[in-house]
Amino acid sequence: MTVDNEICRMDALTLAAKIRNKELSAIEVTDAVLRRMEVLEPHIHAFCTPTPEVARAAAKAVDAKIAAGEDTGTVGGVPVGIKDLVSTKGILTVMGSPLYRDFIPDEDDIVVERLKEAGAIIIGKTNVPEFGYSGVGHNPVFPTTRNPWNLALTPGGSSAGSGASVASGVAPFAIGSDGGGSIRIPAAHSGLYGFKASMGRVPLYPGCRDERYPGASGWESLEHVGPMSRTVADAALMLNVITGPDPRDRYSIPAADYNYIDATKGGIKGLRIAYSEDWGYAAVDPEVRRVVREAVAVFERDLGCAVEKADPGWEDPSGIFWALVVADTDLTGLRRMMKGHEREMSPHLVDLLQRPWTAEQFTDARIGRQKICNIMWRFMAKYDLLLTPTLAVPPFPINVQGPEVIEGRMRHWADWLCFTFIGNMTGQPAASIPAGLTNDGLPIGLQIIGRHLDDRTVLRASGAFEAARPWAHKWPSLLAELGL
């Protein structure tokens, strides 16, 4: 078990190098993480569909290539979890819904294709709320995913299982998707780094792009796919593999002219940074305010940035966001599929789909989004980066959609997500980085938002903050309790 623990605490860059140099074999690494998965799954329920046979076969293929002197790829032999909203050929993809309980795709998502080509080892599908329409980790099909930092609490979602798996060291990184914060939410609640690249950097297909699959086909103008990891460099390593255009995604953009790992290096002295603690209107938990303020101070005190407290100036756009979600949804297809199955499905999702939406609501949402985008680009013309809390609250109990009270104020169940979905509406790059812990030892995230297409500065700022305030050595106490 000691050797397993050493392997499972290695970052992806280290694992890839050790496998390439024959210090470790791919099958040795794979067996170590699968044994860890077996120990942890009864506690955290991160993987809805483990794939040990698939993983071992892929690992043996990597080892055979190394023995033959062949190139194994950028992440040859490195384990990865794949969010269960992301299509995997020949592997069950349930999306947390009884409507897709037995669904096995006939093709891989583009990111899965690219990870496999680069030698990554898929160890399983990670759990999600139904179709991703939530920021937590429960659904009607599988056991609820739990936060390794406190098993009574949610790890956040919708990339819930990806967050819990990486936070507990089952894999060094995992694929998440983010239509309103679903990479950054579990990154914040699970003590991880999560990066939502600029719209189009990471192409999506068939998810959001294939009309054959109602439920999976939606959120096209909002959705992103990307890495969740313990270190900034590991996220950059995955970005090197999964970014770049593809004709199957009409939103995809030309590849960046730089290496993403190189982009994480260098100082940020002199950057102009805005800090919005609450958008000027949001209720934010006092512990979140305290931890994030301390993290923001690092940018000015230790990293040499000019930090100014400033709010972009829009009114609460949450209604606009949810109308955009529904406008992007295959409403006809999903309503047809769920007829007669409503009681099996998530009540909040059924409610959203059954509302009498109008064309005027969707048109107003489109115009509202453009207004937000215009406010944001004008605001960002004065700043290199915008910092906010990632979430308005620390992790909260499982099996609820969100806290009813924040900062002593009654709130809608989704109000705790107020900081993340803005980046989906504007398409700007945004990351959640571990800011610190509450007095109860729970992770809090700091969100770093960049200018339009300026992923590079977000990564550089992330790397600089990580160097000043490292976190990868901090692990949930659950691991020690289980002898891991």
Contacts of 390 (CB under 8 A, 6+ apart): 181, 184, 185, 187, 188, 419, 420, 432, 435, 444, 445, 446, 447
Q: Look at residue 435 in the predicted model and tell me its pLDDT.
A: 98
Rounded average pLDDT over 17-39: 98
Closest C-alpha among 239, 304, 296 to residue 75? 239
- Minimum mean pLDDT range among 34-38, 224-228, 412-416: 412-416
How much is the average pLDDT of 329-353?
A: 95
The rounded mean pLDDT for the chain is 97
Nearest alpha carbon to residue 160 among 201, 190, 191: 190
Query: Strand 409-410 and strand 405-406: pairing?
Result: antiparallel
Q: Answer yes or no: is pLDDT of 287 > 90.
A: yes
**pLDDT, position 282:** 97
Domain membership of residue 20 as a residue range: 2-481
**Whole-number Å distance between alpha carbons of 333 and 468:** 49
What is the b/e burial string over 199-212, where b = at least 16 CB atoms within 10 angstroms of the residue's CB?
bbbbbbbbbbbbee
Bridge partners, 195 (sequence order): 431
Gap between the Cα atoms of 22 and 15, Å rounded = 10
Q: What is the per-residue pLDDT across 226-249, written as a single tens digit (0 to 9) for each?
A: 999 999 999 999 999 999 999 999
State yes or no: is 97 an active-site residue. no
**End-to-end Cα, the chain, rounded Å:** 8
* 217 has a pLDDT exceeding 80: no
Q: What is the mean pLDDT of residues 331-351?
A: 95
Strands of the sheet containing 173-178, edge to edge, are 47-50, 121-126, 79-83, 173-178, 224-229, 193-196, 430-437, 443-450, 385-389, 272-275, 306-309
Place of tokens 């509302």: 355
Q: Which pLDDT tens digit goes with each residue over 179-199?
A: 999 999 999 999 999 999 999
Percent of the chain with pLDDT over 90: 97
CB atoms within 10 A of CB 300: 14
Looking at residue 207, its pLDDT comes to 84
pLDDT of amino acid 216? 74
Under 8 Å between Cβ of 292 and 277: yes
The yes-or-no answer on residue 158 being catalytic is yes
Distance in angstroms (rounded) separating the CA atoms of residues 155 and 163: 7
**For the chain, what is the domain count?**
1
Tokens 């030698």 -> residue: 119
Return the closest-CA partner of residue 85 out of 185, 225, 245.
225
**What 8-state DSSP symbol labels residue 127?**
P
Long-range contacts of 240-246 (CB under 8 A, 24+ apart): 240/74, 241/74, 241/75, 241/114, 241/115, 241/118, 241/120, 242/110, 242/111, 242/114, 242/115, 242/202, 243/197, 243/201, 243/202, 244/203, 245/200, 245/203, 246/110, 246/203, 246/205
Q: What's the pLDDT at 214?
A: 81
Give me the pLDDT at residue 1, please.
Answer: 59
Mean local confidence (pLDDT), 37-54: 98
pTM: 0.98
Confidence of residue 66 (pLDDT cuts 50, 70, 90): very high
List pLDDT tens digits, range 352-377: 999 999 999 999 999 999 999 999 99
Give me the catalytic one of 87, 158, 159, 190: 158
Helix/strand/coil for 125: strand
Please pick, among 25, 83, 116, 229, the residue that the annotation labels catalytic: 83
Instruction: Say what angle helices 52-67 and 26-44 make with each other, to 10 degrees.
Output: 160
Q: Give, for 289, the enclosing helix (H) or strand (E).
A: helix 286-301
To the nearest whole percent, how much of the chain has pLDDT over 70?
100
User: ∠ at Cα 157 (153, 162), nearest 5°?
Assistant: 95
Tokens 């004709």, located at residue: 247
- Establish whether the linkage from the previous residue to 206 is cis, with ω within 30° of 0: yes
Q: What's the confidence (pLDDT) of residue 362?
A: 98
Residues present in the chain in total: 484
420 φ, ψ (degrees, to nearest 5): -85, -40
Query: Does the pLDDT of residue 437 top 90, yes or no?
Result: yes
Please check whether residue 156 is in contact with residue 204, taking contact to mean a CB–CB distance below 8 angstroms. no
Burial of 113 (0-12, 13-18, 19+ CB in 10 A): middle
Q: What is the mean pLDDT of residues 158-178?
A: 98
pLDDT over 90 (residue 218): no
For residue 126, the domain's CATH number is 3.90.1300.10
Residue 93 confidence (pLDDT): 96
Distance, CA of 443 to CA of 191 (rounded, Å): 5
Residue 162: per-residue pLDDT: 98
Q: What does the pLDDT average to over 208-233? A: 88
Is 83 a catalytic site residue? yes
Of 182, 190, 252, 462, which is the active-site residue? 182
Please determine, for residue 118, whether its predicted confidence score (pLDDT) is greater than 70: yes
